[in-house]
């Protein structure tokens, strides 16, 4: 054993001396701060406190406010106008006394004097779509926005208020003490916009053939803003892109509409027998027991008959919703209505669809199936869906979400035919919008500040749900194909990440300030999480951590740091390098093979070793027996070395084996005949696992995944020594395109003359 220790000690001495010599030379360079991608995120993260812990859990003093609403809403169908009265009871659970309250007036983004249309610069484009040109220059601005008739306290006395664009400050008489509550009332009305114009998030679509409107109504009432430990009042203006930050609460809502309308909304319908016909009640009872297919509650024939009338009578639908953060409803005499029961965690949930005849036959075939499938997939990866129903409503060019209800696009041609693009687009948007029930309707992130926390996480889950939908309903997709997801696969994000850096923002940006919201808030975070699950962490670790995050923060207000910390806390995987690279920068992935050198074993010092010995006055007899690798075709290389085993050439190695190994151990030793130094470089800024496929002369392959930490000491390039009994003939980095590498021309050795994936993309879109 003494010889083993002697050899290892000598080798350590030599290698340490070489490193010291290199470090001594670099001391002439100026100093620098820690620029390693692998440094911890302490500078970026807020200091943990009693509200939010370092592990990513809510702290012992975590709190959140509550806002309860009682509303009476009337829809004036002839004039497309909404009237409303609400009483808000606001509970101050924070440790702070509040001098005033902030209420959101999102409809004011459509007021005539709104600043939203003035916030963007720009000149004359190459061309306008006709609709855009007309809307921009040839029409009067829509007369939208809330008309506030009064704000009153519980005794009916007026409360002064100040409106600043889409925010209203309610100037309460006395500070609202910590632990107390206040009730106040607001009365308002507004003109409902045509949501097909400028893609309003809610409103109506007018059908000129029958003179009817279909309404999808949200952001229709003054809503309390969030007050939290993170930034106090979240009263950032609603400009149009950044969505909504809202507290949870309970809702009692009465909605009065024409008597011939069909309506559904957030919450449990309280007076079903009053608003349903006997036949509808019978069908509803059947739907509650139908787990394999939807039951039609209102048929197409009945909807078409209703289209021909216009009732002057009204009907009031009464709903109760508990622990929701928002409210929405849809109503029309045009709606067909179907429902199906879904078993989620031992209880029944109703999957529901509302659609006019213009949506058929596509909607009757696939909408409720997509709702049911989504609830199952999301529940399995997060928590059991807690509400009693999930509704998909057909609306032209829409894709918006609210608790228990959402609007979705996907319209066949007038003759009922439709393309695969329309079909998959409809199924995907339904999955996405129904999935928003989980993020952010329950895991209630701040959409106004961090758009990716709802859109990115939901798009990632959408990808999983789409693939499972294809497995559950194989008849819905083309034979022998997987579901054609538009986002999620690493290759799909390459064109964006390889694009012009002047029009790319980090994911950790406010949604109002990014150049390309779709790639930034939806596609890139979804792709990052997919890579994290499949390539960096592995499914088992990722799925456990992701579910832990969802369960820790359901019905609470998480921040990005709560997500990042939980993913590490529940997996024991240090991911600071990943969050920094993917979320805080606009770096991209580009890893390649820089070069390959072939070596043979020798027992003679190499030229580099002789130079080192001379510089340090070391003679050969002062060194222990050492083994050297001589580069092929270098001055150290002896052609007779080729093809011989290490012990045939290196006497020190042979003596070491003979003296320190048993006969059985020597018999088990694999003696490599080939040695290679492979150097990998990283032109891109993002460190990733180095996934390498080695191909040998006998046709066999071997895949090795080096952890991302291989880049921790050299962010530019790294070398590995490969020993083998077989000749190495080929190397491919990222052979299955798992890392969103933007340039694959440098991924192979010998280098292949092929365009990169991004070059192919650019070629494919020429002329389109």
- Closest by Cα among 536, 540, 551, 541 to 572: 541
Position 17 pLDDT exceeds 50? no
pLDDT digits (tens, 9 = 90+) for 570-616: 999 999 999 999 999 999 999 999 999 999 999 889 999 999 999 99
Give the C-alpha separation, 509 to 505, whole Å.
7
Position 153 pLDDT exceeds 90? yes
- Closest by Cα among 492, 484, 577 to 527: 492
Residue-level pLDDT at 520: 95
Residue-level pLDDT at 762: 52
Mean pLDDT of 86-95: 98
pLDDT digits (tens, 9 = 90+) for 691-746: 999 999 999 999 999 999 999 999 999 999 999 999 999 999 999 999 999 999 99
pLDDT digits (tens, 9 = 90+) for 206-234: 999 999 999 999 999 999 999 999 999 99
Residue ranges covered by each domain of the chain: 39-60+450-587, 66-117+130-449, 589-768
The better pLDDT of the pair 112, 539 is held by 539
- At 407, is the secondary structure helix, strand, or coil? strand
Task: Using pLDDT thresholds of 50, 70 and 90, give the confidence band for residue 667.
Answer: confident
pLDDT digits (tens, 9 = 90+) for 533-582: 999 999 999 999 999 999 999 999 999 999 999 999 999 999 999 999 99
Segment among 209-213, 436-440, 462-466, 472-476 with least mean pLDDT:
472-476
Nearby residues of 301 by Cβ (< 8 Å), 6 or more positions away: none
Burial class, 79, CB count within 10 angstroms (exposed 0-12 / middle 13-18 / buried 19+): exposed
The C-alpha R_g of the chain, in whole angstroms, comes to 33
- Whether the CB-CB separation of 423 and 455 falls below 8 Å is answered with no
Position 767 pLDDT exceeds 60? no
- Whether the CB-CB separation of 189 and 74 falls below 8 Å is answered with no
Residue-level pLDDT at 100: 98
Residue-level pLDDT at 669: 84
Residue-level pLDDT at 763: 57
Residue-level pLDDT at 10: 40
Here the tokens at position 314 are 């009204």
pLDDT digits (tens, 9 = 90+) for 638-657: 888 888 888 888 888 888 88
Residue-level pLDDT at 756: 53
Task: Using pLDDT thresholds of 50, 70 and 90, give the confidence band for residue 514.
Answer: very high
Mean pLDDT of 58-84: 98
Residue-level pLDDT at 76: 98
Mean pLDDT of 315-340: 98
Instruction: Look over the chain and give the mean of its residue pLDDT values, rounded to a whole number.
Output: 92
Here the tokens at position 267 are 């919450």
Segment among 125-139, 294-308, 319-333 with least mean pLDDT:
125-139
Position 12 pLDDT exceeds 50? no
Position 499 pLDDT exceeds 70? yes
Fold topology of 66-117+130-449: Immunoglobulin-like (2.60.40)
Position 3 pLDDT exceeds 60? no
Give the C-alpha separation, 284 to 290, whole Å.
10
Residue-level pLDDT at 6: 35
Position 143 pLDDT exceeds 50? yes
Segment among 434-443, 526-535, 577-586, 749-758 with least mean pLDDT:
749-758
């Amino acid at each position: 054993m003494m010889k083993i220790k002697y050899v290892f000690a000598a080798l350590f001495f030599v290698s340490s001396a070489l490193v010291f010599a290199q470090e001594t030379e670099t001391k002439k360079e100026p100093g620098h701060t820690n620029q390693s991608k692998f440094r911890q995120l302490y500078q970026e993260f807020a200091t943990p406190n009693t509200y939010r812990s370092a592990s990513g859990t809510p702290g012992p003093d975590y709190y959140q406010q509550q806002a309860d609403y009682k509303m009476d809403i009337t829809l004036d169908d002839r004039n497309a106008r909404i009237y409303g009265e609400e009483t808000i009871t606001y509970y101050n659970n924070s440790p702070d006394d509040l001098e005033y309250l902030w209420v959101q007036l999102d409809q004011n983004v459509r007021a005539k004097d709104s600043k939203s249309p003035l916030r963007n610069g720009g000149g004359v484009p190459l061309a306008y779509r006709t609709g855009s040109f007309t809307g921009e220059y040839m029409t009067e601005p829509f007369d939208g926005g809330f008309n506030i008739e009064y704000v009153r306290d519980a005794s009916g006395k007026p409360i002064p208020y100040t409106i600043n664009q889409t925010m209203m400050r309610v100037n309460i008489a006395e500070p609202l003490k910590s632990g107390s509550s206040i009730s106040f009332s607001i009365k308002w009305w507004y003109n409902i916009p045509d949501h097909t114009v400028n893609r309003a998030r809610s409103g109506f679509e007018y059908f000129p053939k029958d003179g009817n409107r279909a309404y999808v109504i949200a952001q229709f009432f003054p809503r309390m803003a969030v007050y939290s430990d993170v930034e106090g009042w979240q009263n950032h203006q609603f400009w149009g892109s950044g969505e909504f930050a809202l507290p949870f609460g309970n809702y009692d809502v009465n909605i009065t509409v024409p008597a011939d309308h069909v309506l559904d909304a957030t919450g449990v319908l309280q007076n079903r027998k009053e608003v349903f016909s006997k036949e509808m009640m019978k069908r509803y009872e059947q739907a509650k027991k139908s787990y394999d297919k939807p039951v039609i509650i209102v048929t197409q024939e009945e909807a078409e008959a209703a289209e021909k009338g216009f009732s002057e009578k009204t009907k009031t639908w009464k709903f109760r919703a508990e622990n929701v953060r928002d409210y929405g409803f849809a109503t029309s005499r045009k709606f067909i209505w179907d429902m199906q029961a879904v078993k989620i965690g031992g209880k029944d949930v109703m999957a529901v669809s509302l659609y006019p005849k213009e949506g058929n036959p596509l909607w009757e075939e696939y909408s409720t199936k997509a709702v049911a499938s989504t609830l199952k997939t999301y529940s399995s990866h997060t928590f059991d869906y807690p509400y009693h129903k999930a509704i998909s409503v057909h609306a032209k060019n829409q894709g918006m979400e609210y608790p228990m209800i959402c609007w979705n696009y996907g319209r066949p041609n007038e003759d009922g035919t439709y393309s695969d693009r329309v079909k998959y687009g409809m199924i995907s948007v339904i999955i996405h919008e129904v999935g928003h029930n989980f993020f952010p309707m329950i895991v209630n992130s701040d959409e106004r500040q961090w758009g990716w926390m709802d859109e990115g996480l939901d798009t990632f889950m959408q990808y999983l749900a789409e693939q499972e939908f294809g497995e559950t309903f194989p008849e819905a997709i083309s034979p022998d194909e997987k579901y054609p997801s538009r986002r999620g696969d690493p290759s799909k994000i390459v064109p964006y990440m390889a694009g012009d850096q002047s029009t790319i923002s980090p994911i950790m940006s406010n949604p109002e300030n990014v150049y390309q919201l779709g790639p930034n808030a939806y596609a890139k975070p979804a792709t990052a999480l997919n890579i994290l699950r499949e390539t960096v962490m592995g499914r088992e670790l990722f799925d456990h951590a992701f579910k832990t995050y969802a369960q820790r923060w359901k019905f609470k207000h998480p921040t990005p740091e709560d997500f990042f910390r939980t993913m590490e806390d529940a997996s024991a995987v240090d991911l600071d390098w990943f969050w920094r690279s993917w979320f805080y920068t606009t770096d991209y992935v580009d890893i390649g093979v820089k070069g390959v050198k072939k070596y043979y074993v020798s027992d003679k010092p190499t030229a580099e070793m002789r130079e080192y010995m001379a510089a340090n006055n070391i003679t050969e007899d002062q060194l222990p027996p050492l083994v050297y690798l001589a580069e092929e075709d270098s001055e150290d290389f002896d052609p007779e070395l080729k093809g011989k085993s290490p012990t045939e050439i290196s006497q020190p190695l042979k003596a070491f084996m003979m003296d320190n190994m048993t006969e059985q151990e020597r018999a088990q030793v694999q003696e490599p005949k080939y040695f290679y130094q492979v150097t990998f470089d990283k032109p891109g800024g993002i460190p990733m696992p180095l996934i390498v496929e080695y191909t040998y002369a006998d046709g066999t392959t071997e895949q090795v995944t080096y952890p991302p930490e291989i880049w921790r000491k050299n962010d530019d390039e790294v070398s590995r020594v490969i020993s083998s009994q077989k000749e190495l003939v080929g190397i491919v980095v990222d052979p299955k395109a798992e890392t969103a590498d933007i340039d694959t021309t440098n991924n192979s050795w010998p280098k292949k003359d092929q365009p990169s994936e991004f070059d192919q993309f650019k070629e494919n879109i020429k002329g389109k």
